[in-house]
Amino acid sequence: MEASWPEADSVPLRREGASAVELDDNLAVYDDVGQLMILLNSSAGEVWNLCDGSTTVAAMIRELAEKYPDQASVIGDDVRETLRKLAELGLVDQGPEAL
């Protein structure tokens, strides 16, 4: 993983073998390969759901800023930090480069 990742045009992708189940306002993510289970809060869960291999980081930030305008000033940093943490845990890959 590059130190500057994720860039605005990065297209994060959930790792194959990882699945998620909604639990109230949280999302339980389980990786059957690494046998890791993590509970994501609703914000991190939304980022996880957007890691579809076709949505750029910039598009994620725009979508979430529109959905939560009162938090728009911090959403970019929060999305990037969440993606870095998910990548460190091996749950998200860099995915293909945006076209």
- What is the residue range of 24's domain? 13-92
Task: Note the residue count of the chain.
Answer: 99
Distance of CA 24 to the CA centre of its chain: 19
- Judge whether 21 lies within some domain: yes
pLDDT digits (tens, 9 = 90+) for 71-88: 999 999 999 999 999 999
- Judge whether 7 lies within some domain: no
For the chain, the domain total comes to: 1
| CATH assignment of the domain containing 75 | 1.10.10.1150
Short-list 55, 60, 54, 51, CA closest to 91: 51
- Judge whether 97 lies within some domain: no
Average pLDDT, the chain: 89
- Judge whether 71 lies within some domain: yes
- Is a pLDDT exceeding 80 seen at residue 45? yes
Question: CA–CA separation, 76 vs 15, rounded Å?
Answer: 22
Question: CA–CA separation, 26 vs 40, rounded Å?
Answer: 6
- Is a pLDDT exceeding 50 seen at residue 99? no
- Judge whether 99 lies within some domain: no
What backbone phi and psi angles, to 5 degrees, belong to 37? -125, 135
pTM of the model: 0.87
